[in-house]
């Protein structure tokens, strides 16, 4: 039986698996999940908002190292050096198709299907020298449960006009888009392109920045000060860093300005009588929204702060990690350790630390 387990077969678990494969054979890793295609859930969401290219830049891939990124592959497939030049200038965004091909190639060559155990893990129980996952014992476990579900504002639940942006949908003649992040911005343009009249409802003006979290928070330079914050300060900092945002650029601004001049796009403080309401309001947040994490915290009386499981800077659960065993968290629930944990670079961060722990383990 493998001694290392990854709980979750989405992109965060998949990225972690690629890192683990640097040191372990497929037979030494068990991946628990109900979806064999690691991009399955993401593919549906990207398709729903008609996403054409990735927001992430050169680091937005599932490989264990930052080099080579997807730009090299794009150079070959597009027969142009432009992707490489764009990568150097932080302007390269792989297309969704390129990213999905990359995932498919990695899945095939990494032994992912060999390690996959098609089962949903309901409970993680700490035992002496490891963890029991619904009866199976592992020494080192990485939890990558993914987003706990789509977030629909309380007052809109049950409204027949409402669809979440990440659910497949078409566009009515008049559309209200709730939210102000990248998904919302994408939906504004989609609905306008479909000929709809669009109303944006948002509580705050969106931030305009290239990545969802400023770049220095992707490295120890910004993380060191982040990790020094008190728990309350850290909660507030995460709230600020994860506020809705989308990149600057004419490809966003020009269609909106044109539509505003034509009277087809406007911002309003509250819902009106649109035929369709699209909630571009992201995902439910916090460990309590995830049954596995909520049970884990309750069973082991783990330290929490606000909606967050308190994690060590290396993304491990402090009370359940020592020299002989590791319990780490990757993906959105790990933003306590790494503010951009819900990105592929964030998944890689948790995976790198997890592998370091495994390598350093005396009883490995």
Enumerate binding residues for other proteins (CB under 8 A): 19, 22, 59, 64-68, 87-90, 214-216, 218-224, 348-349, 352-353, 355-356
Smallest distance from the beta carbon of 349 to other proteins, in angstroms? 5
Q: Rounded to an integer, what distance in angstroms lies between the CA atom of residue 223 and that of residue 312?
A: 12
Q: Helices 11-20 and 96-110: crossing angle, nearest 10°? A: 50
Task: Provide, rounded to whole angstroms, the least separation between the CB of residue 110 and other proteins.
Answer: 16
> What torsion, rounded to 10 degrees, do the Cα atoms 286, 162, 203, 293 define?
0
Taking the least distance from each CB to other proteins, the nearer of 199 and 351 is 351
Residue with tokens 């919302």: 184
- Give strand pairing partners of 163: 278
Nearer to other proteins, 52 or 66 (CB): 66
Return the number of the residue (4 or 355) whose C-beta is nearest other proteins. Answer: 355
| Cβ atoms 21, 342 nearer than 8 A | no
Distance of closest approach, residue 66 Cβ to other proteins, in angstroms: 5
Beta strands 308-309 and 326-329 are unpaired
Distance CA 83, CA 58 (A): 9
Phi, psi of 199 (to 5 degrees): -120, 130
To other proteins, the closest distance from the beta carbon of 317 in angstroms equals 19
Please say which residue, 23 or 271, places its beta carbon nearer to other proteins.
23
CA 299 to CA 6: how far, in whole Å? Answer: 20
Closer residue to other proteins in complex, CB, 112/217: 217
Least Å distance, CB 321 to other proteins, is: 18
Q: Which residue's entry shows tokens 């809109």?
A: 156
- The verdict on whether omega for the bond into residue 2 sits within 30 degrees of 0, i.e. cis, is no
Nearer to other proteins (CB atom), residue 61 or residue 285: 61
Query: Min. distance of Cβ 116 from other proteins in angstroms?
Result: 23
What radius of gyration, in Å, describes the C-alpha atoms of the chain?
21
């Amino acid at each position: 039986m493998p001694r290392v387990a990854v709980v979750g077969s989405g992109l965060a678990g998949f990225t972690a698996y690629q890192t683990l494969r640097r040191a372990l054979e497929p037979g030494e890793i068990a991946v628990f999940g109900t979806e064999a295609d690691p991009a399955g859930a993401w593919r549906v969401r990207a398709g729903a908002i008609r996403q054409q290219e990735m927001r992430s830049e050169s680091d937005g891939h599932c490989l264990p190292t930052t080099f080579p990124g997807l730009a090299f592959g794009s150079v070959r497939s597009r027969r142009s050096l432009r992707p490489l030049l764009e990568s150097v200038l932080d302007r390269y965004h792989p297309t969704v198709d390129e990213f999905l091909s990359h995932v498919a190639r990695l899945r095939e060559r990494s032994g992912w299907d060999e390690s996959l155990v098609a089962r949903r893990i309901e409970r993680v129980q700490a035992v002496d020298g490891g963890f029991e996952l619904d009866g199976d014992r592992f020494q080192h476990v990485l939890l990558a449960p993914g987003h706990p579900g789509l977030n629909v504002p309380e007052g809109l639940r049950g409204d027949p006009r409402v669809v979440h942006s990440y659910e497949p949908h078409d566009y009515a003649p008049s559309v209200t888009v709730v939210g102000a992040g990248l998904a919302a911005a994408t939906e504004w343009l989609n609905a306008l392109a479909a000929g709809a009249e669009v109303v944006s409802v948002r509580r705050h003006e969106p931030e305009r920045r290239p990545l969802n979290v400023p770049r220095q928070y992707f490295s120890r330079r910004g993380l060191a000060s982040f990790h020094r914050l008190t728990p309350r300060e850290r909660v507030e900092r995460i709230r600020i860093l994860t506020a809705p945002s989308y990149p600057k650029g004419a490809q966003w601004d020009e269609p909106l300005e044109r539509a505003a001049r034509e009277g087809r796009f406007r911002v309003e403080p509250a819902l009106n009588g649109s035929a369709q309401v699209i909630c571009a309001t992201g995902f439910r947040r916090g460990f309590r929204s995830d049954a596995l994490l909520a049970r884990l915290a309750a069973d082991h009386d783990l330290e929490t702060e606000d909606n967050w499981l308190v994690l060590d800077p290396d993304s491990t659960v402090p009370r359940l990690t020592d020299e002989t065993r590791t319990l780490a968290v990757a993906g959105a629930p790990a933003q306590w350790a790494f503010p951009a944990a819900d990105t592929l670079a964030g998944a890689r961060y948790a995976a790198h630390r997890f592998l370091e722990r495994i390598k350093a383990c005396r009883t490995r």
